[in-house]
Amino acid sequence: MSSQSTSSVLRVGVLGGANIARQFTRDVRPSQTVRVVAVASRSDATAQVFAEANQIDAWFGSYDAMLASPDIDAIYLPLPNSLHAEWAIKAANHGKHILCEKPLALDRDEAARMFDAADRNGVMLLEAFPFYFQPQTAAMMSLIGEGAVGEVRAIQACFGFTVGNPGANIRMKPELGGGALLDAGSYPLSLIRLVMGSAPSRVDAVATWADSNVDISLMATLVYEDGRRAQVSCSMDAANHRYATIIGTQGTIDTEYLNHTSDQASGDAYGYLPSQLRVRRGIPNSVPFDAVPAATGSGFLFAAESFARMVATHDTAAIDYYAQVSLDNAATLAAIIASARSGKTVTL
């Protein structure tokens, strides 16, 4: 079991000093229920530099040393995709809860081993999609649940950007789990899974391949047992775009499903922007879309505090729900890339 402190604060250690770790640490700092108390790197010097720059009290010169500390309840795991399983399992074996960056794993078997390790050690493992925990996502799911657009029949979702410094960027390295699908496509796919409620039965995908043999862009069609369909698009060679349309029998929902949101159209301290969520309650195009308001803020903060609540209340039902979502996502991601590489339909 975790050595969680008796206080209401979840003490988190950050595994690695990537840029996303800096953003996570910064955004979680105001929390009353989560505190980043340590960082680990591959040397004392780099760990100390990160800790001092990010107002963290303790640092460790190896990942293993931090995992062995009794003063840490949980880890935030932002390492490259190919290292998620190894270090999540090690953390679980040390009795630490794990908040793991997306994608959780490279395939379903890897994800299953991670959850098995968490269960065996009595700790909680959660895949950290920040938009999952945005109030806007809760509002979207409420619209669907209350039948605002009737029965959902299809969803189209996309996310893409231009990758910086492609010669050295880990997103371009297949051995580190790079590629547009895992890095960008995991977002729209995870949204599709939330809305559809299950994994598809089969997928068809086509990709464009970079010189390093990772997918630089990809599109896929997902078909479900009951005839519903979804389309996912992702890229690392296009202007930034992030958008989804949920198509129902009685209406439509449009959303940007951003990770981090702001009330300000410009001038936010961290560059966060408003995220669109709108609904058309009706069949004809003469029915106007209505904007749906929701609270705003950092998805890192929302996710970390949601995780802390799950740990504090031992909310196994929530963890089990998100575990099944993550397992379905991992299986679907693997099927999509297999289809793109083979040019054939892949059945899950």
Active site positions, annotated:
102
> What is the Cβ-side half-sphere exposure of residue 200, based on CA atoms within 13 angstroms?
27
Q: How far apart (Å, rounded) are the C-alpha atoms in residues 14 and 29? A: 13
How many other C-beta atoms are found inside a 10 Å radius of the C-beta of residue 340?
A: 23
Radius of gyration of the CA atoms of the chain, in A: 20
Q: Is 26 in contact with 33 (CB distance < 8 Å)?
A: no
Q: How far apart (Å, rounded) are the C-alpha atoms in residues 60 and 43? A: 8
What are the residues whose beta carbons fall under 8 Å from the beta carbon of 307, sequence distance 6 or more?
Answer: 10, 34, 74, 97, 99, 124, 126, 128
DSSP annotation string for 208-266:
EE-TTSSEEEEEEEEE-TTS-EEEEEEESEEEEEEEEEEEESSEEEEE---SSB-S-SS
User: In sequence order, what are the beta bridge partners of 244?
Assistant: 157, 255
Q: Is 260 in contact with 182 (CB distance < 8 Å)?
A: no
Closest CA to 192 of 204, 200, 184: 200
Residue 223 burial class via C-beta count within 10 angstroms: exposed 0-12, middle 13-18, buried 19 and up: middle
